[in-house]
Amino acid sequence: MAPDLSRSAVIRLLSLTEKEDQEALMKKAYAIKEKELGRNVFLRGLIELSNVCRKNCLYCGIRCGNEKVVRYSLSDEEVLKTIEIARQNRLTSLVIQAGEQTNEAFINRMTQLITRIKKVTQDDFRITLSLGEQTADTYRRWFEAGAQRYLLRIETSSEELYRKIHPADGLHDFNTRLNCLERIREIGYQTGTGVMIGLPFQTIENLADDLLFIKHQDIDMVGMGPYIEHTETPLFNDAATLMPLMDRFELSLRMIAVLRLLMPVINIASTTALQAIVPAGRELGLMAGANVLMPNLTPVHYQRNYRLYEHKPCLDKRAGEILDELSDKIKAIGESIVYDDYGDSAHYLMRINQPTSTPKNDYQRKSMSCSGDDRRR
Ligand code: SAH
Ligand code: SF4
């Protein structure tokens, strides 16, 4: 199947319902992943830095309007300790995710924290940020401090649907989000986006357009997963209109598979929301063409306060346990965790005209011989 599938072909694939047809789609997507990227899985440790958020997205459990949430922020020391655990487990990358904060104190804190991480890891680490909408200046400051990747889900590429799932208060604007994504890419980040799948009011056509949007934007990495309702959110009022969870799960696998057909060398994460519906959901995501997992390394006592959706898995497991279990699960499906490579998106490396893998040692050699260049980004 050609990477330039037509919109109607995408709609047809997303609409498959017969088990055999779906299996054939997964097989095809997996074969492309295997050919282009090998039977390899990249790990990124996830730190849920803070659930403080200025936004009020109608679907999200930690929206500022949810007064039941106990708010927290990890200290720098807690973040650095988590990074130490990640490195002890040979992880080469970390995603720092949080609610959206745009005040000067937060921006400065993050700039300093990124600088500190860069220093303690001797620049031998990749940092992904997922901290929502910021000004171009802030994105640039964090990039210059040493963050290399940024993940900002567009949530849906339909402006009309975007309006239905966000409050009309001037703070939740589709075009602002789109502009942010464009600034992130311009500044030089490996650029990530994604959508929620199975939202109220969402159609298969919307989802097909989401995949074509991702392709058109030439995105380097994608994290997309099923929408899972949260009782303490306004969108829960529309829960009766939702498709059953298992259908959302299967549709999410088809979304991953079709995206792999459209974009053979991007990084696609198999998200935790898949695991929230089916215990082996993330492994099935890998078999559908995903190649990245993001084990949650947030200290256990904070995790329960970072509930974007209900049924969030693994709320009682420590980082070491999670990583041990994951390694066994990945081996069991015939894939291997890549430990000696930063796992940069091959799509990004091709886009900036670099070799399509960045092995750690190789990179260290290169960076020693060309100090001052920003190849790492
Ligand atoms: N505040 C930042 C990052 C944290 S939220 C931001 O919004 O960009 C990370 C992602 O969680 C969101 O982009 C959204 O896609 C997802 N999310 C929020 N609520 C969800 C829900 N109920 N079900 C599934 N995913 C959800
Ligand atoms: Fe805040 Fe992100 Fe949740 Fe929206 S999705 S309320 S920005 S944490």
SS3 46: strand
Please report the pLDDT score of residue 361 as a whole number. 57
Domain coverage including residue 179: 40-207+216-239+290-367
Please report the pLDDT score of residue 323 as a whole number. 81
Q: Note whether residue 14 is domain-resident.
A: no
Q: Check if 62 has its Cβ closer than 6 Å to any atom of ligand 2.
A: yes
pLDDT exceeds 90 at position 354: no
Dist. CA 224 → ligand 1 center (Å) = 10
What is the percent of the chain with per-residue pLDDT over 70, rounded to a whole number? 94
Q: Check if 53 has its Cβ closer than 6 Å to any atom of ligand 2.
A: yes
Please report the pLDDT score of residue 177 as a whole number. 98
Q: What is the pTM of this model?
A: 0.94
Dist. CA 63 → ligand 2 center (Å) = 6
Please report the pLDDT score of residue 232 as a whole number. 96
Which residue lies with its CA nearest to atom 2 of ligand 2? 99
What is the percent of the chain with per-residue pLDDT over 90, rounded to a whole number? 85
Please report the pLDDT score of residue 314 as a whole number. 61
CA atoms of 92 and 122, how far apart (whole Å): 12
DSSP track, 214-281: HHHTT-SEEEEEE----TTSGGGGGGGGSPPHHHHHHHHHHHHHHHHHH-TTSEEEE-HHHHHHSTTH
Q: Check if 5 has its Cβ closer than 6 Å to any atom of ligand 2.
A: no
Q: How confident is the model at residue 304 (pLDDT cuts 50, 70, 90)?
A: confident
Q: Note whether residue 231 is domain-resident.
A: yes
Which residue lies with its CA nearest to atom 25 of ligand 1? 227
Q: Which residue has the higher pLDDT, 168 or 310?
A: 168
Nearest ligand atom owner, CA of 55: 2
Please report the pLDDT score of residue 320 as a whole number. 75
Over residues 279-301, the mean pLDDT reads: 95
Among 139, 153, 230, which is best to mutate for testing ligand 1, by the most ligand atoms less than 8 A from CB?
Answer: 153
Q: Which atom of ligand 2 is nearest to the CA of 53?
A: 1
Please report the pLDDT score of residue 372 as a whole number. 33
Domain tally, the chain:
1
Q: How confident is the model at residue 274 (pLDDT cuts 50, 70, 90)?
A: very high
Please report the pLDDT score of residue 312 as a whole number. 78
Please report the pLDDT score of residue 353 as a whole number. 83
Give 333's contacts (C-beta < 8 A, 6+ positions apart).
283, 286, 287
Please report the pLDDT score of residue 359 as a whole number. 83
Q: Note whether residue 252 is domain-resident.
A: no
Q: Check if 69 has its Cβ closer than 6 Å to any atom of ligand 2.
A: no
Q: Check if 127 has its Cβ closer than 6 Å to any atom of ligand 2.
A: no
pLDDT exceeds 70 at position 77: yes
pLDDT exceeds 80 at position 189: yes
pLDDT in tens, 196-207: 999 999 999 999
pLDDT exceeds 80 at position 316: no
Dist. CA 334 → ligand 1 center (Å) = 30
Q: Which residue has the higher pLDDT, 314 or 47?
A: 47
SS3 32: helix
Please report the pLDDT score of residue 3 as a whole number. 62
DSSP H or E run through 171: none
Dist. CA 362 → ligand 2 center (Å) = 38
pLDDT in tens, 49-63: 999 999 999 999 999
pLDDT in tens, 197-253: 999 999 999 999 999 999 999 999 999 999 999 999 999 999 999 999 999 999 999
Q: Note whether residue 244 is domain-resident.
A: no
Q: Note whether residue 160 is domain-resident.
A: yes
Q: Note whether residue 373 is domain-resident.
A: no
Dist. CA 60 → ligand 1 center (Å) = 6
Q: Which residue has the higher pLDDT, 375 or 59?
A: 59
Nearest ligand atom owner, CA of 312: 1
Please report the pLDDT score of residue 369 as a whole number. 32
Nearest ligand atom owner, CA of 57: 2
103: domain CATH number is 3.20.20.70
Dist. CA 53 → ligand 2 center (Å) = 6
Q: Note whether residue 1 is domain-resident.
A: no
Q: How confident is the model at residue 295 (pLDDT cuts 50, 70, 90)?
A: very high
**In sequence order, which ranges of the chain are alpha helices (DSSP H)?**
7-14, 19-37, 76-88, 104-120, 136-145, 159-164, 174-187, 204-216, 245-262, 272-277, 281-287, 300-303, 319-332, 346-351, 360-369
Give me the chain's average pLDDT, please: 92
Report which of 191, 100, 102, 110 is spatially closest to residue 148, judged by C-alpha positions. Answer: 191
Q: Note whether residue 319 is domain-resident.
A: yes
Please report the pLDDT score of residue 373 as a whole number. 35
Over residues 154-173, the mean pLDDT reads: 98
Nearest ligand atom owner, CA of 154: 1
Q: Check if 130 has its Cβ closer than 6 Å to any atom of ligand 1.
A: yes
Q: How confident is the model at residue 365 (pLDDT cuts 50, 70, 90)?
A: very low
Q: Check if 93 has its Cβ closer than 6 Å to any atom of ligand 1.
A: no
Nearest ligand atom owner, CA of 276: 1
Among 54, 60, 71, which is best to mutate for testing ligand 2, by the most ligand atoms less than 8 A from CB?
Answer: 60
